[in-house]
Structures are given as structure tokens and as C-alpha cells.
């Protein structure tokens, strides 16, 4: 996702209006793949959380805290990496919403509801 948003930003920044539509569609393709992957991730996270005696909607940070070694360190590192990527994607998403011309913009958060999935970070 980060690559596609950076690619879109470069297309917009250089005034390559011919490619804005394609770049936007590619971002949408990645968003759809993320939505599909999210379903599987949510099922696995729920199973892991309940196996650890946590509520089914426990955050990754909570799951990491309740996990035995070496999984705790692995999940804490995963949480940190996801948090950093989320911040980078959010930053690019904001800049991509402010094109220097009146071309189409893409909502990097995707359909309403994507943000709720990231609340668990």
C-alpha cells in the first residue's frame, strides 16, 4: 500500500494527469486485497485472543502482552512495524488528498470502516 500511495503521489506531483486514474485504480486494488486479508487476520486474531483468555476483540498489543516467549517479542515487533507503516500511509494519504490540480483523489482509508480495523494496533 505504501508503495502504491507513493507512486500515486509522484504521479500527481509531476502533473502526469494521464496516469492519475490508473494510479488511483491500483490503490483501490490494493485496498480490496487488504480488505480480503483483513477477514482472515481477524479470524486468526480472535482465535489467538480467546486461546490466551482475552476477549475476542483484543488488540495486537494485548495479544502480544499475553503471549508466551518467543511469540511476545515477535508480536511486539510486529505491532511496532504496523504502527509505523500506518503512520506513513496516513501521512501519504493526507498529502494525496491535496493534489495541485483538480484531478481525482483516492481515499487511502478506503471504504468507511477500514479505520476500525486498525484501532487494534
Q: What is the pLDDT of residues 8-24, one digit of tens each?
A: 889 988 888 899 899 98
Question: For residue 97, what pLDDT band results from cuts at 50, 70 and 90?
Answer: low
Q: Does the pTM exceed 0.95?
A: no
The per-residue pLDDT of the chain, averaged, comes to 81
Pairwise pLDDT comparison (94 vs 41), residue with the higher score: 41
How many domains does the chain contain in total?
1
pLDDT at residue 101 is higher than 60 = no
* Range from 11-20, 83-92, 94-103 carrying the lowest mean pLDDT: 94-103
Sign of CA dihedral 77, 79, 84, 88: positive
Average pLDDT over residues 74-96: 86
Range of the domain at 25: 2-120
First to last CA, the chain: 17
Amino acid at each position: 500500500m505504501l508503495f502504491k500511495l507513493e507512486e500515486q503521489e509522484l504521479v500527481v506531483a509531476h502533473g502526469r494527469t494521464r496516469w492519475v486514474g490508473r494510479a488511483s485504480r491500483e490503490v483501490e486494488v490494493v485496498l480490496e486485497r487488504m480488505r480480503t486479508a483483513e477477514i482472515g487476520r481477524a479470524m486468526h486474531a480472535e482465535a489467538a485472543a480467546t486461546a490466551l483468555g482475552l476477549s475476542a476483540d483484543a488488540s495486537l498489543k494485548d495479544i502480544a502482552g499475553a503471549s508466551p516467549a518467543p511469540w511476545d517479542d515477535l508480536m511486539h515487533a510486529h505491532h511496532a512495524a504496523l504502527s509505523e507503516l500506518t503512520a506513513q500511509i496516513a501521512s501519504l494519504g493526507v498529502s494525496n488528498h491535496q493534489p495541485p490540480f483538480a484531478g481525482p483523489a483516492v481515499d487511502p482509508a478506503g471504504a468507511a470502516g477500514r479505520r476500525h480495523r486498525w484501532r487494534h494496533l
